[in-house]
Structure 1
Amino acid sequence: MRWLLGIVIVATVLWFGYWFAATTAIRNGVDGFLADQRASGTLIETRDVSVQGFPYRFDLTLDGLKLKDPVSGAGYEGEKLQVSAMAWKPWHILAALPPDQVLTVAGQEIELTGTELMASLRARPALDLPLEELRLGGQAIGLSSSAGWQSGASNLLLALRQAETGPADYALALSAGGVKIDPAFGARLAAVALPNQPPPGMPDEAGPLRANILLHFTAPLDRNYAAVQPRFTGLDIGELHLEWGALVIEATGKLAADAEGYAAGEVKLTVTNWDRLPPVLVALGLVKPEVAPTIGNMMKALAGQTGDPELLQLPLKLADGQMSLGPFPLGPAPLLMPRS
């Protein structure tokens, strides 16, 4: 039995040594990252950095984290960010996000609140640590922007997984319920009055929202991301489904970057109870009120071709740098890749 006891003691000493060595490496890595970011000009602050979880976990906690890129203006503020991994599989990282945080995006500050805000990052145990799955989710999510808009959702789950179609393909799945409509937009929509059409009477929440989309990149998403900088080249929409009151919008199709980098392809849109759509387009500022009745009449004529007067099917076509929805021109197509 002495040999068995000796093996247990040696294994315990080795495990303890591994944990403390890994903890030191994590702390040094975080300190080095913070120093590198400050040296590159990024404004970054934190009150305290700690690593705990002995002996089975690595629990990294950053208190009072604030960071901001002086070039793009993008930034983040959170009171307590906790990142954890089990000691025997450090390639699977879990993050518990604070219930109140501030994101700075496109020149506006967005306050994000919620409960059970979690993130999960799992890589394959390989030298390049290729991304296997990324998950984000939460409950009672609220968004409030300094630009004046508000939104949120009662529940949200976003997942990105490596697809079987190729090493640089990733399957994006989105599910949300109780999507809150911005009150200011709701007021604009309620004020829309079109001839021979009752007020839209849309609810202040939408959902469910579902999406299953295959994304294509130029290279896999792994630890070499910063050096390789994979670019997004196109997508295949398997399912896109949104319900907002009686209005139901669904989409399927494919888009890819053309020779000039613009999105090209076709997406089939199916709209149930399409007569709610013209007021929405007016409230969004996409259509002038005096033009909306004409567009409504054209939609009615197109819906008459489907055999169901409440059902409208339109192709969203993108070609030669331009977009059109059925017979309606929409303007320039989005740029997916830098122009060659």
Structure 2
Amino acid sequence: MRKLFWLLLAAVVIYSGYWMIGAKGTESAIAAWIDSRASEGWQAEVADIKTGGFPTRFDTEILEPQLADPRTGVALSTPRIEILSQSHRPTRFTLRMAPEVTLASPYQRLDITQDLAEAQLFVDPGPSLTLDHAALSLQGMRVASTATWGFTLESGEITTQRQADDPLTHDIALHVEGFAPTGGLIDGLDPEGLLSDRFEALDLDMQATFDGPWNIHALEGPRPQPTHIDLTTLSAHWGELDLKLAGAFDIDARGYPIGKLAIKAENWREMIELAISVGAIPENISNLTLRAGEMLAGLSGRKDTIDAELTLKDGMISLGFIPLGPAPRIMIR
């Protein structure tokens, strides 16, 4: 019995030592990363870093972090970031943001509040912490921009899984419910009040290839940029508009897509009227565009549905032979 007691005591002492080393190691690694960013010219400050959760967890709080990257001008501040993990599974952890976050760029500041913003992250062993797969959950999000736009979001789920045979390609899925533009954003998207005040649902399923791995160094910059996207489906239901996209495209060095997408749009007239109202289709060709839409709808066999192809080329986007204006730039700051 005495030997068993001493064995148990030794095990407790050894495990306690392991936990203390792990906790201090986590705090030291975070502090060293922040010091490295400061030495590179970042604004990188925290009020405190502390770890609890003994004996089964490493639960680290980073209090009042303020980070600003001078190369991109992107800055983040929040009262608290939590990094939570089980002591026996250090490559699986939860990242949880405080209910208030401020995200700024040279162009605007975003004030973000949420009921829940939590990511489950699974990384490879080693100092680079290369992302293998992740799941992000959002609940009750509200975003307000100093550029007079914003949105609210009832719920959102984003997952990503790195492909085993191509480590720079990730399978990405997104499901959003209750996305509602606010302020100048809804006025810009729908100045004539053609649609409802929110997306009923938005779903995305795609494979994205990047020019570098997503790891701890991606936070330091430059960020990995997408070079190719295979879009299995993008489905949006907004009021009377039901839109589906699928296809594949490359992304050039300037961030412009090059390729083709199949599009199916029900109640397409609302879509074209929306594009006209925001200036994406000039007024002087609006009648021509509507007639062309009727022709495309006739080819699909249903007057209210367009089955056609979007062409992405030279920084522009067109629907069949209808020019729709500049293509969006796809870049991660």
The question of a shared fold, defined as TM-score above 0.5 by the shorter chain, is answered with: yes
Out of 176-185 and 239-248, give the one that drifted further: 176-185
* Two-structure CA RMSD over aligned residues (Å): 2.7
Q: Describe the shift of the 1:145–1:321 C-alpha distance in structure 2 as closer, same or farther (beyond 3 A).
A: closer
**1:329 and 2:287 correspond:** no
Distance 2:125 2:169 in 1: 19
Query: Counterpart in 1 of 2:148?
Result: 148
Distance 2:11 2:223 in 1: 41
Unpaired runs of at least 5, structure 1:
193-198
8 Å Cα contact 2:190/2:278 also seen in 1 = no
Q: Describe the shift of the 1:216–1:191 C-alpha distance in structure 2 as closer, same or farther (beyond 3 A).
A: closer
Query: Counterpart in 2 of 1:105?
Result: 105
Out of 217-226 and 63-72, give the one that drifted further: 217-226
SS at match of 2:30: helix
Out of 206-215 and 63-72, give the one that drifted further: 63-72
Which residue, 194, 206, 224 being the options, matches 2:199? Answer: 206
TM-score w.r.t. the length of structure 1 is 0.87
Shift of 1:282: 2.5
SS at match of 1:10: helix
Q: Describe the shift of the 1:292–1:175 C-alpha distance in structure 2 as closer, same or farther (beyond 3 A).
A: same
Q: Describe the shift of the 1:106–1:283 C-alpha distance in structure 2 as closer, same or farther (beyond 3 A).
A: farther
Distance 1:285 1:164 in 2: 44
Query: Counterpart in 1 of 2:267?
Result: 273
Query: Counterpart in 2 of 1:41?
Result: 41
Query: Counterpart in 2 of 1:254?
Result: 248
Query: Counterpart in 2 of 1:196?
Result: none
Q: Describe the shift of the 1:230–1:115 C-alpha distance in structure 2 as closer, same or farther (beyond 3 A).
A: closer
TM-score w.r.t. the length of structure 2 is 0.89
Q: Describe the shift of the 1:316–1:189 C-alpha distance in structure 2 as closer, same or farther (beyond 3 A).
A: closer
- The one-letter code matched in structure 1 to 2:197 is D
Out of 283-292 and 245-254, give the one that drifted further: 283-292
Query: Counterpart in 2 of 1:178?
Result: 178
Distance 2:225 2:119 in 1: 23
Q: How many residues align?
A: 330
- The one-letter code matched in structure 1 to 2:199 is A
Query: Counterpart in 1 of 2:94?
Result: 94
Distance 1:309 1:46 in 2: 59
Query: Counterpart in 2 of 1:284?
Result: 278
Q: Describe the shift of the 1:309–1:114 C-alpha distance in structure 2 as closer, same or farther (beyond 3 A).
A: same
Identity %: 24
Query: Counterpart in 2 of 1:240?
Result: 234
Distance 2:112 2:255 in 1: 33
Which residue, 306, 312, 327 being the options, matches 1:312? Answer: 306
Unpaired runs of at least 5, structure 2:
none
8 Å Cα contact 2:136/2:157 also seen in 1 = yes
Distance 2:164 2:304 in 1: 38
Shift of 1:23: 1.3
